[in-house]
Amino acid sequence: MEGKVKAFIENNKLNIDNTIICAVSGGVDSVVLINILKKLGYNVVLAHVNHNVRLESKIEQEAMKNFAIELDCPFELLNYHFDGDGNFEAKAREARYNFFELLCKKYNTDLIATAHHLDDQLETVIMKIMDGSNLYGYGGIAVKYDNSKYRVIRPLLCVCKDELYEYAKLNNIKYFEDSSNESNLYLRNRLRHNVIPLLKKECGDIYDKIEKYSLMVHEAFDFIRGISIKYLSDNNDVIDIKSFNEFDIAVRKDIISLILERNNINRNNNIINDIVVFLDDDNGNKYLALSNGFLLFREYDKAYIGKNDNVIPKPIVIDIENEGIFDDKYRIYFSKNIPLNNAKYIKLCYNELKLPLEIRAKKPGDFISIDNGIKKVSRVFIDRKIPTRIRNNIPIICDSSGKLLWIYDYLKSNEVYKMKQKGSIYLVVEEIDYEL
């Protein structure tokens, strides 16, 4: 079987050019994995996680320590204790990969090997079909996974469970059986015990077919995902609806899936299809609720993901001698001179100005005077295509009588234009840059 695994590594370009952190539980899969990699001449580290949920775990821990001695390789242990808060499986997985990542740094490598095999692949594909997934999910377990911190490789995705048992027997390798694998409480076990045997009976070469199926799906996914990554990169994770809707439906769905992944938002076929319809409908500005408090906002020809945290800023009052900070973003003050920086300003007449000035967010019914009458502030925002998410954060400057003088950065009132000819002071709005 060493030759079979070696050929699989070469054919799939797993690029094993460094020490391999091997995730070894003590089951037949992982002990065979590290044994084969060692025999193939690779430098390996036996990384064992004791989850402390079974009585046998301490015995298995000691056995894996001794196994590392037999293999003449380093032994690393994570003694994990669940704190009872949240989902055990999710937290344990996070702890494992944090552990593996630390080991990569310790041994100056980026390679982690896991012992997934063809039976795992078959079970996973069926579960993904049952749950609903994207193209990547339907392909099952990837032969390799790469992120900025480490690479995960799965060299045993070319062999089935029976081959692993046979190899362990021939090479006199000790392993442990997890008693929970016999319980039908878990879907994977029910598939393993009841469905998979029927598939094997009806299709004698099911392993060969599932391996080829997974490869083809992941090849298609990799091509489409490349387009999605470039699109979101070019658009700074904002969806330009016109260009988005010109893509084939498969690409559109993957762009949606990718942006949901990047924000750690729950996704499945139904959610992705709902978003496709949402982005195909041209009924103006709106939003779609997602998981974890996120919303998908659609504003004119753009769509983006964000939190619904648009709190209305508190109003402030300023006079000639005192300045104010509005929404923690704008410093507003009077000056006798035109500002030398890039701050925006309006010129006012001190003798005609009704002080103090109030700076606030927009209110329903707000209007501003223009040459030919008045215009609602809401209409100004609509005409200028100002995104709904920022409208409450635009400073509205009013005099002491409540008359609106300036919609900051967008429109000055007729009164301001009249005062400009005889004005003697400047109202300055300076955007604060906290990174300076």
Burial-class residue 166 by CB neighbours within 10 Å (0-12, 13-18, 19+): middle
The letter for the amino acid at 51 is H
- Give the whole-angstrom CA distance, residue 220 versus residue 222: 6
- Give the whole-angstrom CA distance, residue 23 versus residue 385: 54
Q: For residue 338, what are the contacts with CB-CB under 8 A and spacing of at least 6?
A: 345, 426
Residue-level pLDDT at 123: 94
Asked if 279 contacts 244 with a C-beta cutoff of 8 angstroms, the reply is yes
- Give the whole-angstrom CA distance, residue 292 versus residue 290: 7
- Give the whole-angstrom CA distance, residue 272 versus residue 171: 48
- Give the whole-angstrom CA distance, residue 260 versus residue 70: 46
Q: For residue 371, what are the contacts with CB-CB under 8 A and spacing of at least 6?
A: 414
- Torsion, Cα of 123, 128, 129, 133 (10° steps): -160
Angle at 370 between CA 369 and CA 372, to 5 degrees: 120
CATH numeric code, 235-307? 3.30.465.60
| 2-214: CATH class | alpha beta
The letter for the amino acid at 297 is F
Asked if 224 contacts 253 with a C-beta cutoff of 8 angstroms, the reply is no
Residue-level pLDDT at 436: 43
Q: From first to last of the 436 residues of the chain, give the pLDDT tens digit.
A: 999 999 999 999 999 999 999 999 999 999 999 999 999 999 999 999 999 888 889 999 999 999 999 999 999 999 998 887 778 888 888 899 899 999 999 999 999 999 999 999 999 999 988 887 778 888 999 999 888 789 999 999 999 999 999 999 999 999 998 777 777 888 889 999 999 999 999 998 999 999 999 999 999 999 999 999 999 999 999 999 999 999 999 999 999 999 999 988 988 888 999 999 999 877 667 788 888 888 898 888 889 998 766 678 899 999 999 999 998 899 999 999 998 888 999 999 999 999 999 999 999 999 999 988 999 999 999 898 887 778 888 999 999 999 999 999 999 999 999 888 888 899 999 998 755 4
Residue-level pLDDT at 309: 60
- Give the whole-angstrom CA distance, residue 326 versus residue 305: 26
Angle at 188 between CA 184 and CA 189, to 5 degrees: 35
Structural domain boundaries of the chain? 2-214, 235-307, 316-431
Residue-level pLDDT at 435: 54
